[in-house]
Structure formats: C-alpha cells, structure tokens
Structure 1
Amino acid sequence: MNHPQQPTPPVHQPGQDNIQIFGLDIHNPVFAISAVVTVLSVLFAAVFHSTATEFFGWLRPAATNTFDSFLAVAANTFVIFCIALIFTPLGSIRLGGKEARPDFSYPSWFAMLFAAGMGIGLMFFCVSEPISHFSTAFAEDAGTAQSWAPLAGAAGNAEEARRLSMATTIFHWGLHPWAIYAVMGLALAFFAYNRGLPLTIRSVFYPFFGERIWGWPGHIIDVLAVFATLFGLASSLGFGAEQISAGLNHLFGLPVTDTSKALLVVVITAVALYSVIAGINSGVKRLSEINIILAALLLLFVIVIGPTFAIISGFFDSLIAYIRYLPALSNPIGREDKLFFDGWTSFYWAWWISWSPFVGMFIARISRGRTVREFLVSVLLVPSCICILWMSSFGTAALSQVIEQGSMTIVDAALELRLFIMLEGLPIAAITSFIGIVLVAFFFITSSDSGSLVIDIITAGGKINAPMPQRVFWAALVGLIAIVLLLVGGLGALQAAAVTTGIPFAVVLLAMCVATCKGLISERRSLLAAGR
C-alpha cells in the first residue's frame, strides 16, 4: 500500500545566499543591518552620553506603562499554549522524526538549558527580589494605585507579606518565562528537524510566507531576533557585572567604579571567547555542568546551614501561595498596583521575551530526538521547579534574617549586594560569597558563549558552523553593549534596552504559536495517513 509522503517545503540549504568575504560567511543583509545599526547605536550612546542617559531614563517606564497589558496577555497565552499541547495527541510527535534519538543525556541537557536560561538573573534576584517585595508589601496599605507592592501590599501583616513576596518572586521566575522559552525552542526545533529548514527564526514562518521567508519578510524577522538577543543578553551581562563588582568590593574592598565594571566585562568576555572557540561540546557543555555543581553546592549549604526547617516548609508554603495568588498576579485588568505591575512584571515579561531567540534557539539545538510532550514537560516544569527551590531557599533564608532576627541590613543594601549580605549572616561567609562571585562569572561566560553562538547562526542564515571570527565578533559586541549601557545609565539603561527589544518580539512569538500548531497538525495527519 502506498502512503502519501509527508509534506515538506522546498529545500533551502542553510547559508546558500551567503557572501564569503574577509574569511566571514555573511547572510546578506541580516548580518550587515544588525551589525551596522548596533554599532551606530553604541557609538551614539557613547558620544552623546547625557542625551542617552536622559533617553534611557524616560524609555523604560514609558514602554512598560504603554504595553503592560499586552505583555501580560501574551505571557499568559504562552503558558496556556504549552500546557494545552502537552495534553493533546500532538505531544507524541518526535522532533527529528520517529527514529531520532537525543544527542545529550538528561543531566547534560538540563544543565545546559538551565545555565543558558537565567543563571545570572537567579544569582542577582534570588535575595534582592523577595526582600524588595516584602519591604513594600509589609509597609503599604492595600488600595493605592501608586504602590510598588505586589497586589498593593499586605498592610503591616508580616506573615502575609512574606507569602506574597515569595509568591510574586516565583511568579516571575516559574512557568511564564519558561513557557516563553518553550514556545521559541519548540517552534525552531520542529521546523528545523521535521521540515528540514535552516535553524533560524524565519523558518518558523514558512506556513505564512512560503518561499518569501528567504526575502525581506524573513530578513526583518531575523534582524528583530538579533536585536532582541543582543540587548537582552547585554542586559543580563550588565546585571552580572554589577553583582560581581559589588561582591568583590564587599569581600576584598575593591573599588566599584565605572572603569572597574568596564574592565570586568572585558576580562570575562575575553574568557568567554575561549569557550566560544572551544565549541558547544567542550566549552558550553563543560562550563554549564561546572555551574550546576557549584550552584547545587551553594544551594545545599544555604538549606543545611541556614534555617533548614523554615526553608523546607517555606518551599511548600511558597508554592501554595504562588498557586493562590497566580490568578491575581497574572490578571492585567484593574490593577491597583500600577507601579509594581509596570516596574516588575512588565519588565520581566519583556526581558524574558528578548532572551527567547537566544535561549529558544540554544534549547532547540540541543533537543533533537525529544518528543513534543517530553520537550514541553522538561523545559516548562523541570527548570521551573529548580527555580522555585532556588528562590524559596535563598529568599526564605534572607526573610528569616529580616523577620525573625530583625536585621535591616539586607533591606537597606543595594540590589546587587543583598545576596552577599545574606551569606554574611551564615558561617564561612567569605568562602560562600567567593563561590557566589565565581558562579555569576561562569553564568556570564556561558550566557555570552551561547548567545554569540545563536546570533551567529541567525546572521549566517541558519548555518550552524559559520567561521569562528563571526562568533568572536558577536561575543565582543555583546560585551561592548553591556559596557556602554552600564556607563550611560546603569541598571535603568540595561532594563530599558531589554524592554524595548522584547515588546515587538512578543508579536513574533504569538505568531509562532499559530505557525507551530499548523505545522504539528500537518505532521500528525501525515503520520496517521502513513500508518505510524
């Protein structure tokens, strides 16, 4: 019996439209537009320092205030989309075809996707965010729209403020960000491995544009992806530089200046270049596994040496509080906490979206051979559980020092310093603080390495093994962007860059959901028709 063949688009070889010049393999015009516009933007910010500082100071609150509801609806849509796919027959489709098998073991796979996904952010915000939410929630009464407290506060109730602060932190680091990454990763993996298209963002839109994805519609999509990745990644590296500088000052008394931060970015970016040259199997994989080991040791130390019972019970209590507050936190309508909603939640959703091309493509590259269901359950739930454990452990340890010991040092400290202040309240603080600094540095390296790899793939038209100088170029450019943003506006400029690149890319992600559904349904029909 003859079965109908699975429909596939015309073959387009990755990089077939590229131009080879000066030892580079450039996908014209994506490489040229991305590189030129980014370099000019960096030069403008560096030359017109005061203008750039004023502009970034205005940009972030203006963007989040205008698009806060849109970002919330988009993030909720991604979560619903992923959960729905898990429970449909489409979940049985294997990425790469029925005979495909995974390239990496579960431990290596989890280590790489977790380290690339949000490593620096976990280190920066694991103490600073719960403390920020607690201090505002405890101090403020409910019902004021100008409140920085989540859901407008807990009106002096310390226990309720603690639950609310942990539920809010988990909300920002749990299902929603990983659903954003999962949407991008699944779409790229399916169209690359099951449809034979290049591993680049434009390939996902073949159901909409057909052969036109090789023209300007595809060029525009890929350029947007490069901008989102560059500035989203640079924002994270800037956070890392701020925290490493604060840690070195706290531990060794090294001065915290713009020059020291810039030098720090230069040094760590140089180390990242070595990992870039070593490649994914020797560089990213090895450093990711080291990261996970060090992070696990630090987490275990905080749980065992810190308030163990409070941390264990707090994990479950925080999880219950997260479920309880989830509907209110994810609802964009009639918010009484406008400042919090715009300043925290909207920023996070835009930041995660700006990271999605980088993280999604990286996850797609290492996920061949997984079923759709296996992919979504693993990418959506496993990292979320790890993030919840991490945040609840460090957050509970810090909140215990504030609530039970009456220590206000953490509350009064700068965001980038709060982790080290919390560790100072535990034994061998010098050793654990140094491990924390090393962890941030390693996460910095793996993020820079993975990000430059992804940008290189996009700007090479989906060609995975483009010339090494191109990856070096993009890794160096990300470091340069981080330096300039730190100098012209500090954390505010970093956040503004992430928000403004993430907002337009949210539209791309929403369209990806539709394209992925169309592709999976077509694949399912073909398999059924072929008797598989």
Structure 2
Amino acid sequence: MSDQADMLSPDGEANVIDTEYEVGQDNIQASIGPFGLDIHNPVFMISGLTIVAFVFLTLAFQEAAGPFFNDLRGTITSIFDWFFLSAANVFVILCLVLIVTPLGKVRLGGTEAVPEYSYSGWFAMLFAAGMGIGLMFYGVSEPISHFSSSFAEGAGSPDSWAPLAGAAGDQTEAQRLGMAATIFHWGLHPWAIYAVVALALALFSYNKGLPLTIRSIFYPIFGERVWGWTGHIIDTLAVFATLFGLATSLGFGAEQANAGLEFLFGWTVTDTSKVFLIIGITAVALISVVAGLDAGVKRLSEINMVLAALLLLFVTIVGPTGEIIRGFFANLGAYAEYLPSLSNPFGRADDNFRQGWTAFYWAWWISWSPFVGMFIARVSRGRTVREFITCVLIIPSLVSVFWMTAFGGTAISQIVNDGYTAVSDASLELKLFVMLDQLPLAQITSFLGIVLVIVFFVTSSDSGSLVIDTITAGGKVDAPVPQRVFWACFEGLVAIALLLGGGLGALQAAAVSTGLPFTLILLLACYAIVKGLITEPR
C-alpha cells in the first residue's frame, strides 16, 4: 500500500491517486445482473435487503412500532444533543474559513473546468433539493411555536434558555426570539452540512478522479481500505441515512398535502388516503426518474422555484408588506445576536428547544446530507470553492430567512394585530393553510401550496433515487433506469411504513437514528477536505 501522505504530487497532479483509482475501481466494480442491473453487490444487497426487512417488520408490527420509534428519538436526542450541536458548529466554521482563505480559489473539476448550468438553473436545483418540503411544512408552524413559547413560557423553568425568560410577556422581544430561533434552524448550519458533503464529493470525484460515492471522500484517511469493507460500511450508512432522511421529508409532505386537501375540499384524512397520496406522487416521481437529471429533475426544480417565488411574492404583497421588509433585516440582526446562545451545545438551553427542535433538525439535515450533497456535487462542476460555498451557504440561507419572515411573520402579525388565534391553534400541517385563509384568493393560494408540496415531494424523490442509485452502483452516474425505479419505489414504501407505524414521531426517529452515525463520518470528511484542497493548484 502506498503512503497516504504521498497520494498527491507537490504540484497537485493526482498521479498516485490515479493508480489507486484503477485498483479501487476494480475492487468496487459493479456487477451486471440478470435483469440488466448494474449494481455494487455488497452495498446494494446489504442496504436493499435491510430496507425490505425494515418495511416488512414495521408494517407487520404497527402497534409496537409507534412507541418504539418515539422512545428511540427521545433517547438519542437527549443523550447526544451536545454532539449534534458541536458537529454542526464545526461544519459552519470550516465553510467560513474556506471562503476567506486561498483554498477558496480551487476550482472543482480543475483549473480549466467551466460550469455546466447557469446560475438560475443551479440555484433552482440547490433550493428544491435542499429544503423544499421543510419550508412548506415549518414556514408558518415553527415561528409561531417559538413565538408562543417565548411569550408565554419563557420564565417557566430555571433551566430554560436564558434569553427566553426575558421575553415572557413581551410580544416584540418574543417575536424577535421566535424568528431568531427559527432562522437558526434554517440558516447557516443546515446549509453548511450540505456544503461539506457536496464539496468533498466534488473535490475527490472531479479533481482527484475517484468514483462519485461517499467512500471516495475518505481516501486521504483510509487509503486503499476505502475499496474494501471500510468503504462498503461507509456507503451503506450513506444509503440508510439518505433513504430515511428522504422518507422523513416525504412523510411530512404527505401529511401536509392531505391536511391541505381536507382544509380546501373537505376530503377526510385517513391512513388510507395518506398511503394513496404517497403512491400517486411516487408514480409521478418515477416519470421524472426515467427522464433523467436534465429532462426531469432540472425542469421540475425550475417549475418549483417559479411557483414558490409566486407564493412568496403574493404573501409579501398582500400580507403586512412593511412589517415583512423591516422584519427581514430585524430578524437577521436577531439571528446574529442570539446565534452564540442558540448554537452553544453546553449553554443554558431549554431541553425541549435543544433536544426537541435543534438536535432533531441537525440529525435530519445530516441524514439528508448524502442525498443533497451528492446531488449538489453533480451539478456544481466548474465552480470555485469560494463561489461554491458562498452560493450554497449564504444565498440559500438569506432566501430561507426571507421565506420564514414572510410566512411566519404574517402569521404572527395575524395573532398579535388581528387576534386571529386559529392559526396558533391549528395542527402543524394545517398552519400554512389557516394562515393563507385570512389573505385574499385563499382558495387559489392554498391550492398552490398543495401543488408546491407535491412537486417538492416529486423532486426530492426522483433526485434522491438518482443519488442512492449512484452509491449502490459503485459511483456510476449512468446506471440502468430499473435501479432508479427500484429506489424511488422503496423511498415511498419506507415513508408509508413509517407513517403507518408511528406517524410523525416515527419519521423523526428514523432521521435521528441514521443521522447519528453519519455525523461521525462528516467530521472525518472535514479533515479529508482540507487535506485534499491543500494539494490542489489555485
């Protein structure tokens, strides 16, 4: 085995690693199956069979599954909350350092590489893949939740997060705290998680000539062992994290779409209706999967961006426009002010906030990171590291801030200024539609909201199946269509199993349990990124 320290020559040319890549490619060579499948047997078989068994057992023991998943989520977030918060801080710091250092000049794909997509198409795919369903589900519900707890319960516990106590009975400060806490969960930290995975994959695939799969990131650490069982374990964990993270988001989307259909058309929400909705949307996703990245995912992502922009513009114009514009800047200031307290893993934070919200969110983003990271890497060749991180980290964070300000701020204004308490009393999945109901053209905008949830659902499913298929095919980006169909179907089946076996609690437990081991992998990836970038020409 060659010395890992010598994997790159001083001028940045990947001479040694090219040889290792040939060895590695032989070792992870996918095999052609009887149905034309092009699979990497250890990863595909282990992950595929495990997921089939999971779906079967969850559906067979639904009554026992619900309590089990709820207990699992509570145990992991209560014990490892400090670990999730600390890791997310590391990811943010690394990204900010790379922006301002000379390492930011490295170009993904080499010094002569050019971007494959325009900024508009690139941004559309970044945003649709990264947070679509989550913004629809939590855009109204989370700001209201934090506002209400800050205003009414801030001083209720000696262990509560200190700034919350100061907001008790103060609507203005409670609103600032509520929006700061919301932005904390949708701003720099989650996008830094995505950026770390995407940057690592793009660097080691496009610049070092390694397969586009998670194991390639760890060549600087494990050397040739990434082509053996060490790499098999890493890729298998990535498949599990991706699939369950996707299932969580798809389950949220199904819950909200069903709630919207009931609110708008009076359709009764039952487990059967949820199952049929997931099946129907998965069928639509299959069409996009078969069409491929450019014809399917890219077009749907651009449609999504247009629809989301129209809904955002509508709420901004017909809602409390002045408050939204002022609130955007005020909320950014509140976010900056309270960020140290919010991100402190050992500070005086309310357990419900730190464990019930932050630890779950970070685990969810981390479980999504192989999917979103690989997808971002596939569409980001030709960007410099500085351009890449700035666009992946800063711009989507600002869009998220404005989205939360418009939707959450409008809902809070309805409560504070109009006394409209129905929006705070509604269930999580209904709050968006209850808020829209107080604005003009409520029927149209609510229907648009349902369409957005469904299209976000489709883009997440089809792009996720492309990513999982790439991992289970040993890094190939052009694996046969039947494999993508297989994974798209099983994403829907896992979402159905989790919804029937425990509802939202089961979905959250799945994300948390797969996010925990993958957090360790991402921390190792940070070291690999720095080591890889140092040897690149700038």
Report TM bin, short chain.
over 0.9
Indicate yes or no: 2:44 matched with 1:31: yes
Equivalence for 2:232: 219
Which residue among 1, 6, 17 is the counterpart of 2:29? 17
The match for 1:294 among 307, 311, 317 is 307
* Residue 171 of structure 1 pairs with residue 178 of structure 2: no
> Could you tell me how far 1:336 is from its partner in structure 2?
3.7
Partners of 2:481 and 2:381 in 1: CA distance: 24
CA distance in 1, matches of 2:396, 2:51: 32
Indicate the SS of the match to 2:502.
helix
2:172 corresponds to: 159
Question: 2-side partners of 1:136 and 1:245: how far apart?
Answer: 27
Q: Does 1:228 align with 2:248?
A: no
User: Unpaired segments of 5 or more residues in structure 1?
Assistant: none
Return the offset for 1:3: 9.1
Of 402, 407, 410 in structure 1, the residue corresponding to residue 415 of structure 2 is 402
Aligned mates of 2:130, 2:162 — CA distance in 1: 27
1:195 match: 208
2:14 match: 7
In the alignment, the residues of structure 2 paired with residue 335 and residue 27 of structure 1 have an alpha-carbon distance, to the nearest angstrom, of: 47
Out of 249, 255, 261, the position equivalent to 2:262 is 249
Mapping 1:34-433, distance limit 5 Å = 34-142=47-155, 144=157, 151=164, 154-433=167-446
Question: Using the alignment, how far apart are the partners of 2:292 and 2:411 within structure 1?
Answer: 38
Amino acid at match of 1:175: L
**Residues 106/362 of structure 1: CA separation in 2 closer, same or farther (3 Å cut):** same
> How far did residue 49 of structure 1 move?
1.2
Distance in 1 between residues matched to 2:52 and 2:434, nearest whole Å? 38
Inter-CA distance 143–80: structure 2 relative to 1 (3 Å threshold): farther
Q: Could you list the runs of 5+ residues in structure 2 that have no partner in the other structure?
A: 1-8
CA distance in 2, matches of 1:153, 1:216: 53
Q: Does the aligned pair in 1 maintain the 2:164–2:174 contact within 8 Å?
A: no
Q: What is the CA distance between 1:148 and its match in structure 2?
A: 9.6
1:178–1:384 Cα contact (<8 Å) kept: yes
2:517 equivalent among 465, 482, 504: 504
In 2, the alpha carbon distance for the partners of 1:133 and 1:170 equals 11
Residue identity opposite 2:14 in structure 1: P
In structure 2, distance between residues paired with 1:3 and 1:197 = 19
TM-score when normalising by structure 1: 0.96
Percentage of identical aligned residues: 65
Q: Secondary structure at the match of 2:14?
A: coil
| Corresponding letter in the other structure for 1:263 | F
Partner amino acid, structure 2, of 1:19: S
- Judging changes above 3 Å, is the alpha-carbon distance between structure 1 residues 288 and 424 closer, same or farther for their aligned structure 2 residues? same
CA deviation after TM superposition for structure 1 residue 145, in Å: 5.5
Classify 1:314/1:4 alpha carbon distance in 2 versus 1 (closer, same or farther; 3 Å).
closer
* Cα-to-partner distance string for 1:40-86 (whole Å, 9 max, x where unaligned): 11111111111111101201111100100000000000000000011
Q: Which moved more, 1:336-345 or 1:140-149?
A: 140-149
**Is residue 485 of structure 2 the alignment partner of residue 478 of structure 1?**
no
Q: Match of 1:120, as an amino acid?
A: I
Q: CA deviation at 1:7?
A: 3.2
Is 2:127–2:396's contact at 8 Å kept on the other side of the alignment?
yes
Change in 2 beyond 3 A, CA 1:74/1:5: closer
Give the SS at the match of 2:32: strand
* Aligned-pair CA distance for 1:4: 5.4
TM-score (structure 2 length as normaliser): 0.95
CA positional deviation for 1:346: 0.4
2:472 is matched with which residue? Answer: 459
